[in-house]
Amino acid sequence: MARTERLGKDLLIKDGATAIAGATSANLSISSEILNVTTKGSGDWVANKSGMKSWNIDCDCLFSIEDFSYIEKIGTEVQIELTLDAVTYTGSAIINDLKINSGTNDLITYNLSMTGTGEFKKKSDTPGQGE
């Protein structure tokens, strides 16, 4: 099977139907809690089971006066979309952190951190099926 690289534009952060402008990079992290279920019957080996899943996303963006409204959006929900080989995964996340970076002779940038709320799942073409 041939390997196909993905472009950063395949990961979108949206406020409603509008993509967040100016994103230069994003990191999506999905994880599962590990629950220790070791008993005396486990012998010399630790036994584990998968627990609750969670996800979060961080992005770096260029500051734009025209569309910069993220200060007011702290604590609000946005939508995340990741498209791979015509399959789109979606989820909602809450913007929980904003950092503005400004060097003396650099472009102003900012970082957004968002925490997923609910499932990050495959989007279905059929309404009501996986949406």
Q: What is the pLDDT along the chain (131 residues), one digit of tens a residue?
A: 555 566 666 777 887 777 775 678 888 899 999 999 999 999 999 999 999 999 999 988 877 666 566 677 889 898 988 887 788 889 999 999 988 888 888 888 888 899 999 999 998 754 554 44
Q: Which domains does the chain have, with CATH numbers?
A: 8-36+46-122 (2.40.30)
Q: How far is CA 68 from CA 1, 50, 77, 78, 113, in A?
A: 42, 39, 16, 15, 15
